[in-house]
Amino acid sequence: MGTHEPRATKTKITVTLNHDLVHQLDQLPDTETRSRSHVVEEALRRWLEEYKQKELESQVEEYYLSLSKAEREEDKEWAKIAAKSAKRLWDK
């Protein structure tokens, strides 16, 4: 299910979870072959990837909102040029 990295040194921590959440975790079929730690680690890894993606999207939006009208017009022209170039490459 996801990319697996070579075994790295693990840090043991203690977390407190809602009883119902732990119960749901224990009901998952995967927990028969995976430890709770593995399932929680995978969930946290996915959440962090999603968080980073949202942060990047927010920065891109902030950048484009900061452009002046002239910069936005120039960006539109570059986008047109790029689209034409891509079309020529894809049509080959």
In-domain check, residue 10: no
Of the candidates 55, 53, 72, the one whose C-alpha atom is nearest the C-alpha of residue 64 is: 72
**Residue 85: pLDDT above 90?**
yes
In-domain check, residue 12: no
In-domain check, residue 25: yes
In-domain check, residue 6: no
Of the candidates 45, 25, 44, the one whose C-alpha atom is nearest the C-alpha of residue 35 is: 25
In-domain check, residue 40: yes
**What are the DSSP calls for 55-70, one per residue?**
HHHHHHHHHHHH--HH
**What are the DSSP calls for 27-46, one per residue?**
HSGGGGTS-HHHHHHHHHHH
| Per-residue pLDDT tens digits for 7-56 | 779 999 999 999 999 999 888 886 567 888 888 999 999 999 999 999 99
Query: What is the domain count for the chain?
Result: 1
Domain that holds residue 84: 19-90
In-domain check, residue 65: yes
**Residue 66: pLDDT above 60?**
yes
In-domain check, residue 13: no
In-domain check, residue 7: no
Tokens standing for residue 21: 């959440």
